[in-house]
Structure 1
Amino acid sequence: MFKSIPLAATLILSSSSAIASVASPDWGTCVANLQQTAKSEGLSQQTIDTTLANVRYVARVIELDNKQPEFSSSFESYFTKRVTDWRVQQGRKLYIKHKELLQSLAKEYGVPPQYLLAFWGLETNFGSYKGKMSVLNSLATLACDPRRSQYFTTELMQALKLKEQYGFDEKKMVGSWAGAMGHTQFMPSAYAKYAVDGDGDGKADLWNSTDDALSSAAHFLQNLGWKRDERWGREVTLPKNFSYAYLGRAEAQTLTKWAELGLTLTNGRALSTPDMTAALYLPSGHTGPAFLGYDNFNVIMKWNRSTFYAIAVGHLADRINGAAGLNVKPPKMPSLSRARVKELQNQLNTLGFDVGKPDGILGSKSLKGLQAFQKDNGLVADGYPSEVTFKALGVK
């Protein structure tokens, strides 16, 4: 799973040749290169001299980039911290408060109120915490880090353009460690492309206007492909002796196929089988809850490339809309460090189960390789790196 730059992590980067990777580890050299890039991107000399020339390196940003919760937390830890009774109740209260706006947005963009509220709740606790880090310092720091330099260089240039366009004070341009901004944590490229003026004051202000932020979120989701009148997915029950042959987005099946394989609703009733496809996700392995993710699940993943995040958004939306909690509670599991997952990947490759270059992230190729190893060794082939599987692989 990749996380994750909140919002717009999958936007196509600028094709401009001026957006180049900053490879030098020297901060001064890097900032000088960024200034040249800014000049070639048409930014004013005043912005370059008074703003970009004064950015500061923030070591904490790199530390947080390497410790994202979707990389290390167990699903139980991640989910229970985010889908809380308080957020459910607060979401319901805010639906009443913003009912007219939310219903208008649903009509215009096709995104039901509960989803907009769920994104808002997960991103900034309904606007109560929008981040305190300098967006420009964070983006400059990440632009000068070789891991994703090109992406963050593009975002930094766009943030500077937004500053010029709207007259934002750089001291008030605060957000997450990754440079995400406002109530719904838009990256600068998403801000530029999808932010709308929801309150009619002539400016799209995602920090200070709830109307602007919710309207922009609905506009963004519509453009990502949100399907009107379809849900995100749902928790399901697997039959006994399930083969786990089809797991993850790459193995999506029709709902008719899932029904034939014995999946049911959590109340035991049969799945409805409209002409839709869905992928099966087991974020805690076979001992935890099982979920089918529909097309709108994939849209949520475009907002944030984390299955944990997508499930949390979907379920929080359901709860805000009156649904009960999960039928199967996520089991407590130890956290997975990237170093340990990388060791697991190395061992799988050594044993002939090709999972690609070890990166410490459990993507689809790692899932398939792990499933093959589990099957060959008489383990439940759910693709989940349980302690039993670690032990069988000889990974401590």
Structure 2
Amino acid sequence: MQRTFVILLAICLAAPVTAQDRGAVERQFRDWLERRVWSEARREGVSRQTFEKAFAGVALNWDLPGLVPPGAPTDVPRLQRQAEFGSPGKYFNRGSIDGATRVGRQMAKRHAATLEAVERATGVPGHIVLGIWGRESGYGRVDIPHDAFEVLGTKGFMSARRDYFTGELVAALQIAEAGHAPKRAMKSSWAGALGQPQFMPSSFLAYAADGDGDGRADIWRSEADTIASIATYLARHGWVAGRDWGFEVTVPPSVSCTLEGPDQGRPIADWAAMGIRRVSGRSFPAHELAGEGYLLMPAGRHGPAFVVTPNFYVLKDYNMSDLYALFVGHVGDRIAYGMDDFAGGWGAVGGLYRSDVAAMQRGLEARGHDVGGADGLAGFKTRRSIGRWQEGNGRPATCFPEAGMKARLAG
């Protein structure tokens, strides 16, 4: 009954958005382009010719997610499932893992010299670069369908992160002004990311690199430039040469899942002393023992566990998701070392609406827990807060949201 009410409320609040005069909003959009975007672009050296060419025929794309048209309420309840947070195992589907691994091994052979040169220059292993490249664009094989100026213009004008996307739109105009992109290549994802590495425009300006020695950084057509650009991004975000990204482990019942998180690091030798072991049966590498490691349990006690290094969080800088970074590291290991699936299985968890998780988060906040914000996403702060709440109530800690918790936490 409560869920039905929330759905009806969302429909009622959303109705004015679908009924409003889109023609009037389009006119506001053109005015905003002239008044704000052109003003900022001109200060960054963009010519009027480039500006007009970029927006010739461009209109608002009303099909993009997360839009907040002028005058629309910004607090409409959104009921949605998000596999990346609700059901972690779905992120590691057979087709994605096998495809990225198979083609990645081909690319490792084809670009062996470039990968070795880039690793010498940046300290970033080639197989890690391949893991990102495969995830982002299927090694350049995935279609990138959207007009970048349409996407970034739409999101800059009417999204919850208008200032961010406006800045990215101006950066895209700078790319066009400098002639970095080949003709008709300014295509993007629905979020505005460009080329084979799926760089946001500002990241292109900061990190795009020349990997084939032709004097330009072409992340659209050059595989060598794509490799060099990804590695440069990771290196400048703090990749520590010589360290791994992490290790799958078993966590004994005596070690609480509430110890998870990048703010609870300790030397890997200390984790080993607590009884945490690699699933392979091998010891942690000797050179890693003194380095800091962090417990990662993305499904709590319902899935695989890991001890990760600071490099894991560099991977997260590329895409702020534990599961993204885990996918990249795992595929990289499969490419380089022939590793198999995770030893720990993903339990039958998830399937919750984000609004359900948000209700649990608000209940935890009311009890004094830091969940990192009631956003409906089960990040490490939410996971360990659930575990602490469970332990405080005399229950075994599982550290993952479950349907039965909502009534107890929200009540």
Q: TM-score range by the shorter chain?
A: 0.7 to 0.9
CA distance in 2, matches of 1:29, 1:73: 40
Q: How many residues align?
A: 372
Larger radius of gyration: 2
Structure 1 residue corresponding to 2:406, chosen from 382, 390, 393:
390
Structure 1 residues 383 and 73: alpha-carbon distance in aligned structure 2, compared to 1, 3 A threshold: closer
228-237 vs 40-49, which deviates more?
Answer: 40-49
Where does structure 2 lack aligned partners over 5 or more consecutive residues? Answer: 1-24, 69-77
308-317 vs 242-251, which deviates more?
Answer: 242-251
SS of residue paired to 1:250: coil
- Alignment pair present for 1:326 and 2:342: yes
Instruction: Give the aligned CA root-mean-square deviation in angstroms.
Output: 2.6
1:14-57 per-residue CA deviation (whole Å, 9 max, x = no partner) reads xxxxxxxxxx9953443332223223333212222332465321
Q: Which residue of 2 aligns with 1:27?
A: 29
Tell me the TM-score normalised to structure 2 length: 0.82
- Alignment pair present for 1:58 and 2:61: yes
41-50 vs 146-155, which deviates more?
Answer: 41-50
State the AA in 2 paired with 1:331.
G
Tell me the TM-score normalised to structure 1 length: 0.85
Q: Which residue of 1 aligns with 2:321?
A: 306
Q: Which residue of 1 aligns with 2:294?
A: 279
CA distance in 1, matches of 2:231, 2:284: 29
CA contact (8 A) 2:114 2:211 kept: no
Structure 2 residue corresponding to 1:182, chosen from 190, 195, 217:
195
Q: Which residue of 2 aligns with 1:372?
A: 388
Q: Which residue of 1 aligns with 2:210?
A: 197
Q: Which residue of 1 aligns with 2:71?
A: none
Structure 2 residue corresponding to 1:36, chosen from 28, 34, 39:
39
Structure 1 residues 167 and 102: alpha-carbon distance in aligned structure 2, compared to 1, 3 A threshold: closer
CA contact (8 A) 1:87 1:121 kept: yes
364-373 vs 185-194, which deviates more?
Answer: 364-373
Structure 1 residues 68 and 150: alpha-carbon distance in aligned structure 2, compared to 1, 3 A threshold: farther
- Alignment pair present for 1:137 and 2:139: no
- Alignment pair present for 1:337 and 2:350: no
CA distance in 1, matches of 2:122, 2:404: 46
1:127-166 mapped onto 2 (5 Å cutoff): 127-166=140-179
SS of residue paired to 1:147: coil
CA distance in 2, matches of 1:38, 1:329: 50
Structure 1 residues 351 and 298: alpha-carbon distance in aligned structure 2, compared to 1, 3 A threshold: closer
Where does structure 1 lack aligned partners over 5 or more consecutive residues? Answer: 1-23
Q: Which residue of 2 aligns with 1:116?
A: 129
CA distance in 2, matches of 1:355, 1:134: 37
Q: Which residue of 2 aligns with 1:6?
A: none
Structure 1 residue corresponding to 2:309, chosen from 288, 294, 298:
294
CA distance in 1, matches of 2:67, 2:284: 41
State the AA in 1 paired with 2:54.
T
CA contact (8 A) 1:367 1:384 kept: yes
Structure 1 residues 378 and 299: alpha-carbon distance in aligned structure 2, compared to 1, 3 A threshold: same
The percentage of aligned residue pairs carrying the same residue is 32
SS of residue paired to 1:267: coil
SS of residue paired to 2:349: coil
1:226-258 per-residue CA deviation (whole Å, 9 max, x = no partner) reads 111211101001113332241111111211221
CA contact (8 A) 2:352 2:403 kept: no
- Alignment pair present for 1:359 and 2:375: yes
Structure 1 residues 211 and 155: alpha-carbon distance in aligned structure 2, compared to 1, 3 A threshold: same
Q: Which residue of 1 aligns with 2:87?
A: 74
CA distance in 2, matches of 1:151, 1:173: 19
